Amino acid sequence: MHELLIAHIKKHSTTPLTVADIEGIKKCFTLKKLRKRQFLLQEGEVCKYFAFIVKGAMRKYTVDEKGAEHIVALSVENWWIGDRESLTNSTPSKLNIDAWEDTNVLIATKDDFVTYVSPISAISEMLRELDYRHALALQKRIGSNISQSAEQRYYDLASTYPEFVQRFPQHIIASYLGITKETLSRVRNNAVKK
């Protein structure tokens, strides 16, 4: 399992990992298996882990006062998931994070991450690159939600992240896009007709 994480770090960093770095990573990250619908984090809890998805699919969402879910993020293999605000500030999370499929994650506590992994140059480089990519993706998503039609948002998602459309059901995709499932159904039906 750690091999996938190590390969991910190497992919996003030009700094080589030493044998000691790899041992630190293995000490820091432990395997956690989640069944479908099992929570990694529930609203009101303090986030305790950084999580790297080895296998499976997860979603991060809020639930409004009417019980409707609002998808904040979708994540699959080789993606990170957690609530950075809650983890960093040790405050109760406003988010829920659960497994949409049976999922294996490698988790690290904040203290273990600081002790074993933060000093590793390759990790720092990877985190900077991933933060940069995340900021760009978030800016694109916000701009898309403000200025694009539902159809354009769906096509962008399907072309950028086809695995999301294949692995998550229509109601989750609709929530992620900020549209109703009826609108998404219409968009998909129009795509089939074209």
Q: pLDDT per residue over 5-38, tens digit each?
A: 999 999 999 999 999 999 999 999 999 999 999 9
When pLDDT is cut at 50, 70 and 90, the band that residue 188 belongs to is confident
Indicate whether 107 belongs to any domain. Answer: yes
What's residue 166's pLDDT? Answer: 94
What's residue 192's pLDDT? Answer: 65
- Determine the structural domain holding residue 109 and report its residue range: 2-119
| Separation in Å, CA 47 to CA 116, 144, 148 | 19, 29, 33
Indicate whether 163 belongs to any domain. Answer: no
Segment 103-124 shows an average pLDDT of 92
Domain count, the chain: 1
| Separation in Å, CA 93 to CA 10, 54, 72, 85 | 31, 24, 13, 8
Indicate whether 109 belongs to any domain. Answer: yes
pLDDT: is 118 or 44 the higher one? 44
pTM, two decimal places: 0.91
Nearest to 61 by CA among 98, 104, 36, 32: 98
Segment 143-168 shows an average pLDDT of 93
What's residue 37's pLDDT? Answer: 97
What's residue 194's pLDDT? Answer: 61
Indicate whether 127 belongs to any domain. Answer: no
CATH number at residue 34: 2.60.120.10
Half-sphere exposure of 107 (CA within 13 A, CB side): 16
184's enclosing H/E stretch is: helix 181-193
Indicate whether 31 belongs to any domain. Answer: yes
Indicate whether 149 belongs to any domain. Answer: no
What's residue 118's pLDDT? Answer: 84
Indicate whether 156 belongs to any domain. Answer: no
154's enclosing H/E stretch is: helix 150-160
Task: Quote the CA–CA distance of 179 and 183 in Å, as a whole number.
Answer: 6
- Report the range of poorest mean pLDDT among 34-43, 69-78, 90-99, 133-142: 133-142
Half-sphere exposure of 188 (CA within 13 A, CB side): 16
